[in-house]
Structure 1
Amino acid sequence: MHSSIAFATLAFAAGVLGQQAGTLTTETHPALSMSRCTTAGCATESHSIVLDANWRWLHSTSDSTNCYTGNTWDSTLCPDAATCAENCALDGADYEGTYGITSTGTALTMTLKVGSNVGSRVYLLGPKSENYVLFQLKNREFTFDVDVSNLPCGLNGALYFVEMDRDGGMSEYTNNKAGAKYGTGYCDSQCPQDIKFINGEANIAGWTPSTNNANTGTGSHGSCCNEMDIWEANKISAAVTPHVCNKAGQTMCTDNTTCGAGDDRYNGVCDKDGCDFNSYRMGNTSFYGAGKIVDTSSKFTVVTQFITDDGTDTGTLTEIKRIYVQDGVVIQNSKSDISGVDGNSITDTFCKAQKTAFGDTDSFETRGGLAAMGEAFGRGMVLVMSIWDDYAAEMRWLDAPYPATASTSKAGVVRGTCGADSGVPATVEADSPGASVTYSDIKVGAIGSTYS
């Protein structure tokens, strides 16, 4: 589950055409390495990160006029979707000064608020800055260290994978001149309709400014794709959640039904609910948090294993297993304490039992379940890291009672110790502007090779 963002609206001069980059701010990608591991050891790869296009300044190609100000498009520069893409350019990013993003080369820190900007989203970029790094994780494990000690209620430090185009859609859509180098092409299982450019064209048709966020709005189109939420968390709660779609790769939805908006939530291309494992929601309230078994007051390691039916890279994905390591101690994931739901990992059996126990609609199974998630990884998925607050549901689905109107005595409603009103974005941003998350020591490799 992902929200989008406070859009930067400053204007810059440029001499480029199409959905391309401006020239005032040099685009310098912060370095971020990762390791690929086998049972014989790990080898380091040098990569970098790139800021999502939706956060970038968007301006006329011929002067310093904003194409987008607040949550409204300029009607002269953007009379229609294609013309807007020709008239408007993305600019480079000041990662630290504007967005609070810093990197040591092995660790990435993301800060909630710098000035008027709120949150950010970045992707792992290959060495030539032309393509995102693709991950095929069947019969593999993915491991990273995280520090969530500075993430209070209502915030989400998310690390996840989505099936977006490797080059950001640059080769497929002629109006996309910026590509992965400038963070284009985002999609996820929520089919976000606040994306300003989809498939190389502006999402201005039916654009409606948000009533509770001065920087965002929604268009009639959305950008959908399979999503594997390895990590959605703060210092209170954490969830691992696969979401699947009934189409392969990035696809544009064009109305509320296909986008799954509002009352059409379960009619869309993708499974918006997913099949989540949140230890607190699954009945173990002493496992994750400050001073608990996984102690969120200090850094720890998160290991996620993608198990196939036959133990091969081409097998069918049948299990997603979670392990933690902290202070040299390997900690197996907590077990479900919900009646009728067994286990401490995500399987199709677990998902079906959980949906039944909680009375939730099972849109995960109807869109293919774990096998579909595995097929997406077989095609390759892009690594995303973000920090955000939630204008749609105030992050209650992660760390508080949700839905807000449901009885807290009902199984599955309470997701953590946060209050039902703790995630109001205006309050979170005012009280914790310096909130941050740090991701580090990213590794991928054979099962059992990335941790000890």
Structure 2
Amino acid sequence: MKIASTIAYLSAALVAFANAQQVRTNTLKSTPPFHPKPVPPRDAPPKAPRLCSTPTGAGPTTSADPPTATLATFGIPLCVLTQPRALPTAPYGTYGITTSGNQVSLKLVTVGPYSTNVGSRIYLLEDDNNYKLYKLLNQEFTFDVDVSQLPCGLNGALYFVQMDKDGGKSKYPTNKAGAAYGTGYCDAQCPHDIKFINGEANVNSWVPSTTDPNAGTGAYGSCCTEMDIWESNTISQAYTSHPCTVTSQTRCSSATQCGDDATGNRFDGVCDKDGCDFNPYRYNNHNFYGPGSSFAVDSIKPLTVVTQFITDDNTANGNLVQIKRYYVQNGVAIDSPNINWSGIDPLNYLTDTVCNEAKTLFGDNNQHKAKGGLTALGNALKNGVVLTISLWTDHAAKSLWLDSTYPTNKSATIPGVGRGTCSITSGVPSEVQSQYPSATVKHSNIRIGDLGTTTGGVKPPTTSAPTTAPTTSTSAPTTTKTTPAPTTSTSAPTTAPTTTKATPAPTTSTSAPTTSKATPAPTTSTAAPTTTASSAGSVGAYGQCGGGSYTGPTTCVAGYTSTTIRNGTRNASPTKWPKIHESIAYVHPMNFFCRNCLNGNFGSHGRAESLHNIWEKR
């Protein structure tokens, strides 16, 4: 199976936006294979093998093997020509995208001979011309992930969006590219930085970004329902429901319809941009997820993420009423912690009631309910959604909504404000990109199946009612960890996969990732930087613990020590430096970048360089 790639370039002399979305006639470049793992229904008989198409140069495979998938890219800007735009192909290594068996890796910065690429986004396809549509109701979606190299400010995301199966090719005659070239993207942020929408170039009223030299916004946005399965780094993670009132990919053309932040219309658009999220830290469980063995889920180690979509009648035709999550790490199933705020039902999964109560307690605008809640989301999941994987930095809000105190001018002790331990000065894209160019997220063993079938011998944890009342402060949270029947593997079942072929097709900028996703409107802080302290009065991983005008706690949690970084600020740094690139170099995940890191060359001393000084392992 093969896929095309597209790249385009922006010029100051933009021409009419109605030019068609064409493709070049040269041969598409072969792409790296990727093997997701479909899971057969419970008690299903084995399927007879059949031939399926394969990448260029590969032999035929049967359905007894993992279906082969390949990657392609869709670029950001567009060629300014008097002829209809042609979408050229490109090598995938240029975009930091690599595969190995059933694993796909996305690297933050890739330096090429003519350009530097930052971030990427990929989609899964069913065949050469169509995206794979996942129907998630009464199913569980499972994958393995390694986020150990993602510090504050980065977001390694895996999510579903209601894109057209063919990328809009049949709907819009001027779209000659289609899914093979990664066209038709949309999400609940109604992004304006998509360069082709509905088969037309989005150049009308184009305004370059003030923070990203390779991005900008056009007059149109591209909206659709979105389900964020996993937005994450080593500090925080969340899953989020984003319903919309539109039922398919829709081009918005006004600030009101698009819900533009810049004009104060965030809550007027067709989609719920904030969404209803389940972030364990935000729900006052500060010891559940993070770097190190002191957390119930250790973000430095690979883990398996299981998300279940429960309907009111336990069928794929019912209404979505619950979204549940549990994890598998070291062969042990770990349940999500119960919500630990008074005023919200102490459950460990999302329901419309939980969403409504959280919006009230947190003081957030309840657009989730206004846009139809889980029922509206469920309708999209019933009809089919496209799997998307991305790695990006946030030019709008620096990912503070994911891993820090947000809004930044409020106390982290206020319910809903604290989302993680990262400093409110963290997440600046230029700093993240320069300090962590080799940051990489790895996804593998992607599978979907009936409830309880995707984790092999590891049984789902049994959820029980909480035995203690939730709190209204950041007191010691409670987590739930259940040990299932012993197992020797956390990999996917070895049963024969279904005959459906699957193929990720990435879209990426030649320099910067696409529009910020799931980002609430940023709030300017006038207060001194602060960090969230742990329940015992100690500063958590990578949080600020001294320097400047800081007046908060100065004691670090176990495994971390106070370390001076840039501008005299002191942060809680790991006592043991994380090892990277299997070399002898140990680099602070917040404050250092590797010298010659891209080539894996650290010299004879394993040297790492900070903004102001050199640290060497002795």
Same fold (TM over 0.5): yes
Contact 1:107/1:438, CA 8 A, preserved across alignment: yes
Instruction: Say yes or no: does 1:154 pair with 2:153.
Output: yes
| Aligned equivalent of 1:93 | 90
Indicate the residue corresponding to 2:35 in structure 1.
33
Mark the CA change 1:252 to 1:197 in structure 2 (over 3 Å): closer, same or farther. Answer: same
Q: Is the 8 A contact 1:335 1:344 kept in 2?
A: yes
- The structure whose residues are more often helix, as a share, is 1
Report 1:417-428 matches (<5 A). 417-428=421-432
Distance 1:319 1:378, change over 3 A: same
- Supply the distance in 2 between the matched residues of 1:242 and 1:433 (Cα, whole angstroms): 30
Give the aligned partner of residue 430 of structure 1. 434
> For residues 289-368 of structure 1, what are the structure 2 equivalents within 5 Å?
289-291=290-292, 292-341=295-344, 342-368=346-372
Is the aligned partner of 1:395 residue 2:392?
A: no
**Alignment partners' CA distance in 2, 1:123 and 1:184:** 10
2:266, 2:273 within 8 Å by CA — same for their partners in 1? yes
Cα shift readout 1:373-394 (whole Å, capped 9, x = no counterpart): 1100111000000000000100
The 2-side partners of 1:25 and 1:36 are apart by 30
Deviations 1:113-162 (A, max 9, x none): 11221100000011x31101000000000000000001110000100000
Contact in 2 for aligned 1:148/1:296 (Cα 8 Å): yes
Distance 1:448 1:183 in 2: 33
Who is 2:194 aligned against?
195
Give TM-score, length-normalised by structure 1. Answer: 0.88
Hey, what's the Cα distance between the residues in 2 that align with 1:435 and 1:184? Answer: 27
Give the match for residue 125 of structure 2.
Answer: 125
Q: Quote the residue 1:53 is aligned against.
A: 74
1:396 Cα offset (Å): 0.3
User: Hey, what does 1:105 align to over in structure 2?
Assistant: 101
Q: Is the alpha carbon distance of 1:348 and 1:401 closer, same or farther for their aligned partners in structure 2, counting shifts above 3 Å?
A: same
Q: Counterpart of 2:21? A: 19
CA–CA separation in structure 1 for the residues paired with 2:133 and 2:229:
15
- Name the structure 2 match of 1:14: none
Alignment of 1:133-152 (within 5 A): 133-152=132-151
1:44 Cα deviation (Å)? 5.5
In structure 2, the residue matched to 1:280 is 281
Q: 1:10 offset after TM fit, Å?
A: 9.2
Relative to structure 1, the CA distance from residue 400 to residue 20 in structure 2 (aligned partners, 3 Å threshold; closer, same or farther) is same
> CA separation of 1:45/1:112 partners in 2, compared to 1, >3 Å: closer, same or farther?
same
Q: Distance in 2 between matches of 1:225 and 1:49?
A: 25
Query: Given the superposition, is the C-alpha separation of residues 94 and 407 from structure 1 closer, same or farther in structure 2, using an over 3 Å criterion?
Result: same
SS in 2 for 1:426: helix
Question: What is the CA distance between 1:295 and its match in structure 2?
Answer: 0.6
Q: Deviations over 1:397-442 (max 9, x none)?
A: 0001111222223211111111111100010000000001000001
Q: Which one-letter code corresponds to 1:407 in the other structure?
A: S
User: In 1, Cα distance between the equivalents of 2:403 and 2:324?
Assistant: 21
Provide the C-alpha distance between the structure 2 equivalents of 1:113 and 1:295, rounded to a whole number of angstroms: 25
Q: What is the match of residue 206 of structure 2?
A: 207
Once the two structures are TM-superposed, the CA of residue 49 in structure 1 deviates from its matched residue by 4.3
1:64 matched residue in structure 2: none
For 2:8 and 2:22, locate their aligned partners in 1 and report how far apart those are by CA, in whole Å. Answer: 16
SS at match of 1:35: coil
Aligned to 1:81: none
Q: How far, CA to CA, are the matches of 2:399 and 2:438 in structure 1?
A: 18
Change (3 A) 1:326 1:275: same
CA positional deviation for 1:23: 5.5
Contact kept in structure 1, 2:22 and 2:84, CA below 8 Å: no
Q: Is the 8 A contact 2:140 2:452 kept in 1?
A: yes
Q: Give, in whole Å, the separation in 2 of the partners of 1:339 and 1:44.
A: 50
Distance 1:248 1:321 in 2: 24
Amino acid at match of 1:89: A
2:8–2:87: 8 Å Cα contact kept in structure 1? no
> Secondary structure at 2:75's aligned position in 1?
helix
Measured in 2, the distance between the counterparts of 1:410 and 1:52 equals 42
Contact 1:230 1:304 in 2 (8 A): yes
What corresponds to 1:385 in structure 2?
389
* Aligned counterpart, 1:373: 377
Q: Would you say the 8 A contact 1:51–1:120 is kept in 2?
A: no
Q: How many Å separate the matches in 2 of 1:326 and 1:301?
A: 6
- CA drift of 1:9 comes to 3.7
Tell me, in whole angstroms, the C-alpha distance in 1 between the residues paired with 2:153 and 2:42. 39
Structure ID, larger Rg = 2
Q: CA deviation at 1:260?
A: 0.2
Equivalent-residue separation in structure 2 for 1:394 and 1:8 (angstroms): 26
Contact kept, 8 Å, 2:152 with 2:422, in 1: the verdict is yes
User: Given the superposition, is the C-alpha separation of residues 32 and 379 from structure 1 closer, same or farther in structure 2, using an over 3 Å criterion?
Assistant: same
Q: Whole-Å Cα distance in 2 between the matches of residues 191 and 322 of structure 1?
A: 27
Question: Does residue 1:264 correspond to 2:265, yes or no?
Answer: yes
C-alpha displacement at 1:21, in angstroms? 2.9
- How far apart, in 1, do the equivalents of 2:175 and 2:144 lie? 35
Any idea what the Cα deviations from partners look like across 1:147-181, whole Å, max 9, x if unmatched? 00011100001000000000111111111111111
Distance 1:143 1:44, change over 3 A: farther
Contact 1:189 1:227 in 2 (8 A): yes
Identity level (%): 51
Whether the aligned pair in 2 keeps the contact of 1:207 and 1:218 (CA below 8 Å) is yes
Is the 1:49–1:122 Cα contact (8 Å) retained in structure 2? no
Quote the offset at 1:195 in angstroms. Answer: 0.4
Q: Which amino acid aligns with 1:31?
A: P
Q: What SS is found at the alignment partner of 2:137?
A: coil
Cα distance in 2, alignment partners of residues 21 and 133 from structure 1: 21
Task: Give the residue type in structure 1 aligned to 2:374.
Answer: L
CA distance in 2, matches of 1:40, 1:153: 43
Where 1:445 maps in the other structure, the secondary structure is strand
Q: Which has the higher contact order (CA 8 A, sep 6+)?
A: 1
Q: Secondary structure at the match of 1:430?
A: helix
